[in-house]
Each structure stands twice: as C-alpha cells, then as structure tokens.
Structure 1
Amino acid sequence: MALSCSLRLIRLRAYWPVSLKQASLSTAPDEDCRQVAGRNEATRKRWMKEKKPRQGCSLPGLESFWEERLTNVATPLWRFPYEEQLKVKSESQKKVLQTLASCLRELGTDKLEITQRPDGLCCPLHSVVPSPVINGYRNKSTFSVNKGPDGNPKTVGLYVGTGRARNIVCVRANHLENIPEKHKQVAQYYEEFLHQSPLDPCLLFHQGGHWRELIVRTNSSGHTMAIITFHPQDLSQEELCTQKALLKDFFTCGPGAVCNLTSLYFQESIMTRSSHQQSPYQLLYGEPYIFEEVLGLKFRISPDAFFQINTAGAEVLYQTVGKLSRADKNTVLLDVCCGTGAIGLSLAHQASKVVGVEVVEQAVEDARWNAAFNGISNCEFHSGKAEMVLPQFLMSREDDRLLVAVVNPSRAGLHYRVVQAIRNCEAILTLIYVSCKPEGEAMRNFLEFCCPPDSGKKLVGKPFAPLLAVPVDMFPHTIHCELVMLLTR
C-alpha cells in the first residue's frame, strides 16, 4: 500500500509542467537617499568615473531567448488570461485531493465521506479564491549572482537549469510580471556595483569569490530593504570594512542612490543559507525593520522573518483561515510556524488565547512587538523548533479549553514529532493546514494526520478527516497557490 501511494505521488508531481526549483525566487531612514546623493555629487562623479566595462559579450537574439526561457520556468502560466490560470490551478488541486483520497482508501480509512464520494475527492473543493493583485505582487525577491547567457559571471538574476546538470545560467528578471519594478531596479544597480568591484562573485564556495545573492523586500508604502550576502573567504576585518563602506557609499551617494533604500543589510556567510543567529545581519544604512499593514494591523518584519509573499493576497488568506477555524472565546488557537505572528494576531479577536511557535528568533521578536504595538494582549509566542516546543507545551498545559491548530509550514512540511503531538492531543478537534505545495511533503503530513491509528508509528490519536479545501491564489502566473485544508475529528 505504501509503495502504491508513493507511485501515485510521483505521478501527481509529474502533472506539473515545470518545477520552480529551476528558478531562484523565493522577504524612514536617518536621511533621505536623494538628499544624501545631492550633497555628495563629487562622490557620485567618482563612481561614474571608476565604472568598469561589463565582462562578456552580447549576441543578437540571445537575451530574448533566455528571457523567454526564464519566463516559462518562473511564471509558466504567464500566457494565460488570469481566469484561465485559475482553472488550471483548480484542476491541480483536484488531483491533489483525488490522490489523497486514493491513498487514504488504500491505508484502510473507514470514512464514508471519503470512500463513497462520486467525484473521487477526499472532501469538497471550493473554487480558487483569486489574488487581488495579479502583477508585481511579490514583496520579497531573491536574486542570484552567476554566469549569464553571455558568460558574464557578475550577472544578477534568477537561475535557469540545475546544479546537478551543471547547466545553470543566471538570467536577468527585468521582464517577469510577478516581480515589482523596485526589485528589478535594485537588482540592476547591484549588478552595476559588482561590475565596478575588483572582487569576484562567489559562484562556487571552493573556488573563492565573494559577492553572492541579493534579497529585496518592499512594503505597500514603497519602503525598500536590500540584503546582500557576502562570502568573506580569507579577507581581513579591515578589508571587509572597506567592502561594506563601498557598498554603502554606492547605494547612498553613488548611482544606487536612485533606489532610495530605506534599509541596507550585509551578511557575511560561508553557507548557502544562514540565519541571523548563525551569521548576523549587519545594518549598513537606514532602519532595522520594514513595516506592513494587513487587515488593519501593523507588522514589523526583520530581514530573515517569514511574511507572505503577496500582501494583498495574505489578507484574503487570513480571512479564509479565520472563517474555517471556527475559533471562539472558548478555544485556544495554536499558530505553528507563525513567522511574525500574522495569522495568530489577525485571529486573536476570535479566540480566548493565541500561542505561536516559530524557529526564527528574530521573527518571534517581531511577533511579540506586533502584538504589543497593536494592543493585543491574549497572544504569546515561543521561539524554537516546533518539534521541540509544541510537544512540551501540549504535555504541560493544564486548562481544559479546546484547541484549534493552524499550521503553515515551509515546503518541507511538518516534522514528524509535530504531527504526532497534534494527532495525539485529544483537545485538538480542528486543524487548518496551509500549504503552498500540497503535492509535496504536505501530502505526507495529510496522510499521517488522517490514516487509521498506528501504534508502531506512535499515531494513536483519533484520525482527522478532510472536511473542506479552499485554494487561495497567492502566486499569479505560476502553477502554485495556497491550499487551505480544514481537517476535523
């Protein structure tokens, strides 16, 4: 049975025409940048005088070929009218629910609402809730540095190809419809900075080089945070300080001042990804945070804190979760993988109490600040891995109020110990699972929550059953949307 379910999942994943793993996207100053630039015209002229020619060469038609290839990878539905995109996503979600129903039947579920549904779905599926914004909706973009189509190793853009196949090409993303113009502008000027820098980019760690990826975060007010990752290699502290000063100089009083950054961060990292605890984010200029408003609440966002990529879409998503949760003053809401606390805080008025769990310490600090700033006193947030914090919390709680759990994990899904803790807690009768990739590891979690009791796997609690699925489109032009799954028992 397990093998059969695995084969079904493989076939399900093959349904998607393209994998976004092939594209890397992933997010008031002390002084106004334009004022700084105006007062430092001499510095600006020095930057322009020292500007170096770009490496590589341009071939006729080459750029448009790679632009279209990147577009087809990163935004494969871009040719479809938006209504057609929603139909494609609806069909995708149907296949997810059909696969889940089939696997649960093979695992021996006795739920008639699953085994006898004529449409083969595990539960009713609502129409896809559209995104309020279709173009330029991303509030966070991650740009890589690597060889472009012309061989230029200091190209800032998104990957096409894979490292395993050794066919990676970095293509500028100026044409992608889901990335806002501000993000494209910052990427363009970061590339200009790299061309002027005597230091090489870090394409492969063992081959040396320094300059790495750029993350740009923006809010609805137009504030912009840029985060640049740098491999220190064997540079001295004095040399590192020089590079940071040059970077700050470029974006505050050099050509990059036109980006009008409100925050500029620098991270020295010897790993592909590093948290703030592993490699602290160093604020070179401006404000330490970016702020956003969602459903009338103000949220503070740190450089590495999770926040939904589509702010307008997030409002729709949180409203959907609130309606499905049925949280009231007799329930405690668990917000697992809570990020900056957006879901929990937006639903705090419904529940008697909100308990959030998040692994990123900075995000937890943001969540606590957000609760205090918005005058919300019935929330508490815990920092640590969910598989460590949640089981301990559930075992030690003393009140007898019912729990409503909302989980919004990364694409890696929930750790098995988190599933066990929720499944085996009798007080949790309602579970909301929010997934941006339900055909991936989330499917494993769905099966673990809904399969018959299995003492060997320590899943002894009464199984959940899918009651309703609501897709919310957070990613227009791509094949993905958020699936909000209501599970009850």
Structure 2
Amino acid sequence: MTQESVKFEAQKRILWRLESYLQKLNGVSVTTSAPRAEGLSCLLHPIIPSPVINGYRNKSTFSVNRGPDGNPKTVGYYLGTWRDRSIVCVWSNHLKNIPEKHNQVAQYYEVFLRQSPVEPCLLFHEGGYWRELIVRTNSQGHTMAIITFHPQELRQEDLNVQKEAVKKFFTTGPGAVCDLSSLYFQESTMTRCSHQQSPYQLLFGEPHLFEDLLGLKICISPDAFFQINTAGAEVLYRTVRELSGVNSNTILLDICCGTGVIGVSLAQYASQVLGIELVEQAVEDARRTAAFNGITNCEFHAGRAEKILPQLLKSKEDGHFIVAVVNPARAGLHYQVVQAIRNCRAIRTLIFVSCKPHGETTRNIIE
C-alpha cells in the first residue's frame, strides 16, 4: 500500500466520522447531488504528492543531550521515551528528509560544544547553558542558524563572551565551512520563546532569508512560520487558488496568514487581500514580502483574529464577494473567529488549510 493510499484512507475515515457526528447532531442525513466518494456524502480528491520527498525540510530543530556514548554534548534527534528514561540523542544523518546542509551545521555545532568549557542545558533545574539549534535554508543554498542559550545567572559580560565564541567559531573557526548566511542567538529560560518574549540577536549576516515560491520572493525571519517543504507548499497554494475561485471581483480574506504567503501568491488574481496574523514579526515579513514583490493590493493586520475580523468584515461587506482562507495553528480557530465567519454573508467560499484534520479542525467544522 502506497503512502498516498494510506493517507487517502485516513482522510476518508476522518470525514466519515465527521459526517456521522453531524447527522447525529442534526438528526438528518447529509445529502448532496454533487460528486462524492464511496461511503461519503462529499467528494474526496486523491492525495497530491509533493514533487520532492527527500531532503525537503527547509527548517530543522536539533536537540542537545546525551548520545549513545553518554556524552551530554551530542546534537541530533531523540530516540526513546521520557517515561522509560530511555531518551538518547542521535545524529540525523540517516533521516532522508533532512538536507545534508542541516546535518553539517548540526555536526559542527556539536564540535563547538565539545570544545566549549561551558556545559549544555539538559534540564532547566540542573543548570547548564547551551541548548537547541535551528537551521533554516532556502533553495539558493543560503543558511540561517539559530542557537538557543539558557543564561541562568550569567552576567552580561559573560554572556557576551559566549556570543563572541560561537560567532568566531562559525566565521573564522572550524564552523566557517558551513558558510552560514546568518547566525542568531537567543537567550531563553522557557521551552519555546518568541521574538517578543526574548529577541533574536543577530551575531552576523543577513537578517532574513528570501525563498523563491510561485515566482515570488518570500521574506523569512528567524521564527516566522513557513511550510516545511517548499516544493510541496507550491502544490498546496496552487490547489488553494483552484478551489477558491478568486477573481478580480473578489476580496481574499487570509485568516491566520503567517508570513502572508497564501495572500501574496493569490494577490494577482484578487481585487484585494486582507491578512490577519497574531505574530507581529510575521506580519512585518508579510508586508516586506508584498513590498519587495511590488504588490500593492494587500493589507496585513497584526492581532487576534477574533478581535480584528468582525470590524474588518463589517467595513468590507457592502457589495463585495469574499473568499476566506484559514490556515490556523494546530490549536485551531478561536470560536469567536468561527462565529464572525458564519455571520458574514458576503463570504461565499471558505478554504480551510489544516495539517491536523483529525484534531481541532473537526471541532471548527462542527462549529
């Protein structure tokens, strides 16, 4: 059984459970005269494969922990479980979806850690400093590395010493072979920390990566969300365009727009694009991308969609046809966003992009 057929059957089961729940909830059968898949009341298209399936990741996060030899300064991915206390950190060379460049940067980060007198931070309460590494690349081969560091009780001058040490290693030391386009440093006392909580500090290089996608240059900041498979993302966004039916008489509403890729890629077909995103830096990236590509019919708003959306829709409802695209995080849409979408009669088409259709997406559809 191919991977595509396995995924197709999985999506079919999700839709079947959703239909069963809706029928029970409403007390009526779901009927339609439109084409439909066997056993379903709707049409389920075949899975569309990505044109690239090996080495496709444009972003990888590497952990620091004990390796098979017990060395706590090992950089890689976890095997085992925390419950069984069997966690071990192993190199990622055997993983087919990780590009060689990402593995190279991870291995040289490990070299740096093993020559550093400063200990890694394996558990926050046990102390230590050096933490995970994030590597981002684009199709032109440019590479951004982001190193996370737990400051503990270090004085600023001691922090500066560590920043200078890692900068020197990757610019003039052994790590220079990685040919990084930029190196960022983030002081973080939490498992995950946004730019607003603790700013990314550029140690050297360009502040952004630019990726080619559908003939556009997309601006990517250190913590900006971008689809992990660029070639697969192009297939996804072409599909969104086909399903949306966007034309010159349409306003495209891009909810949870991230760096604005969907809106920017469809702007040439729409009358206007309105994007909403919680992460302010992502909105800055979206505006920068639109400006860089000479796109003038896009507006991007930073804030909570449930607060911005009702007023935005109210000002655009008169005589306009609206196509809404939602691409939320795994937590799904806030119920007030769902309510605002339902209350807007001008929305004629809704495209829901989800990486986890069996989770909160199902809840949102029911709402």
Aligned pair 1:217/2:168, yes or no? no
Amino acid at match of 1:369: R
Which one-letter code corresponds to 2:128 in the other structure?
G
Aligned partner of 1:425 in structure 2 is 344
Structure 1 alignment gaps of length 5 or more: 1-82, 449-489
Structure 1 residues 165, 427: CA separation in 2 closer, same or farther (over 3 Å shift)?
A: farther
For 1:49-448, list aligned pairs within 5 A: 84-108=2-26, 111-113=30-32, 119-164=38-83, 166-397=85-316, 399-448=318-367
Q: What SS does the corresponding residue of 1:435 show, helix, strand or coil?
A: coil
CA contact (8 A) 2:184 2:202 kept: yes
Cα drift, residue 127 of structure 1: 1.0
Deviation of residue 151 (structure 1)? 2.0
Q: State the secondary structure of the residue aligned to 1:367.
A: helix
| 405-414 vs 221-230, which moves further | 405-414
Contact 1:97 1:122 in 2 (8 A): no
Whichever residue aligns with residue 241 of structure 1, its letter is N
Matched residue of 2:61: which SS?
strand
Give the Cα–Cα distance (whole angstroms) in 2 for the partners of residues 199 and 356 of structure 1: 44
1:174–1:351 Cα change, 3 Å: same
Q: For residues 165 and 380 of structure 1, do their structure 2 counterparts lie closer, same or farther at Cα, with a shift above 3 Å needed?
A: farther
Q: In the TM superposition, what whole-angstrom CA distance separates every residue of 1:132-171 from its partner, at most 9, and x where no partner exists? A: 1110001011111112232221111112344455443222
Pair 118,178 (structure 1): closer, same or farther in 2 beyond 3 Å: closer
SS in 2 for 1:113: coil
Offset of residue 99 of structure 1: 1.5
The residue type paired with residue 16 of structure 2 is: Q
Q: Secondary structure of the residue that 1:112 maps to in structure 2?
A: coil
SS in 2 for 1:121: coil
Letter of the structure 2 residue corresponding to residue 105 of structure 1: Q
Tell me what 1:467 maps to: none
Aligned equivalents of 2:215, 2:339: Cα separation in 1: 35
Aligned partner of residue 99 in structure 1, secondary structure: helix
TM-score after normalising by structure 1:
0.72
CA distance in 1: counterparts of 2:296 and 2:208, whole angstroms: 22
Which structure has the higher relative contact order (CA within 8 Å, separation 6+)? 1
Measure the CA separation in 1 of the matches of 2:52 and 2:316: 42
The one-letter code matched in structure 2 to 1:103 is: Y
C-alpha spacing 1:104/1:274, structure 2 compared with 1 (3 Å): same
Measure how far apart 1:386 and its partner are: 2.1
Q: Which position in structure 2 is the counterpart of 1:11? A: none
Q: One-letter code of the match for 1:379?
A: C
Question: For the structure 1 residues 386 and 169, does the alpha-carbon distance in structure 2 shift closer, same or farther, using more than 3 Å as the test?
Answer: farther
Alignment deviations for residues 85-130 of structure 1 (CA, whole Å, 9 cap, x no partner): 212111211112112111111111553139x978332411111111
Q: What is the CA–CA distance in structure 1 between the aligned matches of 2:81 and 2:247, rounded to whole Å?
A: 48
The alignment of Structure 1 onto Structure 2 pairs a total of residues equal to 366
The one-character-per-residue Cα deviations of 1:423-475 (angstroms, maximum 9, x if unpaired) are: 22222121101111111221211221xxxxxxxxxxxxxxxxxxxxxxxxxxx
CA RMSD in angstroms, aligned pairs only: 1.9
TM-score, length of structure 2 as denominator length:
0.95
Distance across 2 between alignment mates of 1:425 and 1:164:
48
Alpha-carbon separation, structure 2, partners of 1:215 and 1:440: 27
Deviation at 1:183, TM superposition (A): 0.4
The alignment partner of 2:93 has SS state of coil
Check 1:225–1:122 CA distance in 2 against 1; reply closer, same or farther (3 A cut).
farther
Are the structure 2 counterparts of residues 149 and 113 from structure 1 closer, same or farther at C-alpha, using a change threshold of 3 Å?
A: farther
Deviation of 1:387 (Å) = 2.5
Q: Look up the equivalent residue of 2:126 and give its one-letter code.
A: Q
User: Do the aligned partners of residues 189 and 118 (structure 1) sit closer, same or farther apart at CA in structure 2, a change above 3 Å counting?
Assistant: closer
Q: 2:243 and 2:286 mapped to 1: Cα distance?
A: 23
Identity level (%): 70
